[in-house]
Amino acid sequence: MRFVRNPEQTPEKILSPQQRKSAVYTILVIGLAIVALGTAGFFLSFILREQITQQGLNYRDTQTYSIAVAFAGVFIYAIAASVFKVGLRKTTFYKITTILKDEPFDPPMQGDHTKRILSELRYLSDEWAIFRDISPAGSKEAIPFVLCGPKGVYTLTVAAGRPGKKNFADPAPMLNHLTKSLSKDLNAEITPLILFMGNPVNYDTKSKAQALNINRIYRWVKEQPEQLNPAALEQMESKLFTLINPQKKSAPFIS
């Protein structure tokens, strides 16, 4: 399955190839290595405290020295990062590993189920494509996900909470409304799907939307009959790409 995104949605690498070849990048890596060395020294001082004591040393002193080494590494990293204009406020392990591995920076966001949905649908062939933030013409809202393939077009959202609970916000009315609008844009029949993290046994089945446990979505899609030929798929994908609008709100659908 292909995950189709426009340039605005596509994550970028934190450092450019030119920056990675510079001496400042070498200093940045050295700083991180010193941080790792100091951190390892701190914990090893506690684990090996008996052996350290037998050498006539105080393990707490070695922990203090290790902390000082780690802080020195942080200082070196901060200087190098500031040269590259890499923000320090939200420095996480994921961000650092992304820099070291030279990967696009695509941090997980609270309530964003993109990676989970992609994982569940990963065995679909490349005849299938999934889009994010699809805004039907004239709409102020965006549909979180639209799945398009030989077996049809589906709008997807993940429900927040459990059906039957007082705080459960039913996403069906808005999803059905936007699905109807998108159906007019594509001139095609579209099935809305509401995905639950648990079993949607208490969900109102009168809704036009199909309720599924997120673990079942792949099997459910595979069970559907063939509906679209390659020419129709290509036309729909082209239209969906023009409707991508990450600036529109899709918050009502995301837990």
Strand, coil or helix: 64 = helix
Q: Which two tokens stand for residue 119?
A: 């994982």
Residue 198's pLDDT band (cuts 50, 70, 90): confident
What is the predicted pLDDT for the residue at 160? 76
Q: Which two tokens stand for residue 192?
A: 């809305």
pLDDT over 50 at 102, yes or no? yes
Average pLDDT over residues 33-51: 92
What is the predicted pLDDT for the residue at 254? 45
Distance CA 120, CA 3 (A): 13
Share of the chain above pLDDT 70, in %: 93
Burial of 3 (0-12, 13-18, 19+ CB in 10 A): middle
Nearest to 100 by CA among 24, 39, 28, 22: 28
pLDDT over 60 at 64, yes or no? yes
Distance CA 132, CA 145 (A): 5
For residue range 204-227, list pLDDT tens digits in order: 666 678 888 899 999 999 999 998
What is the predicted pLDDT for the residue at 34? 97
Distance CA 2, CA 4 (A): 6
DSSP E strands in 36-122: the ranges are: none
What is the predicted pLDDT for the residue at 206? 65
For residue range 121-145, list pLDDT tens digits in order: 999 999 999 999 999 988 888 999 9
Average pLDDT over residues 54-71: 90
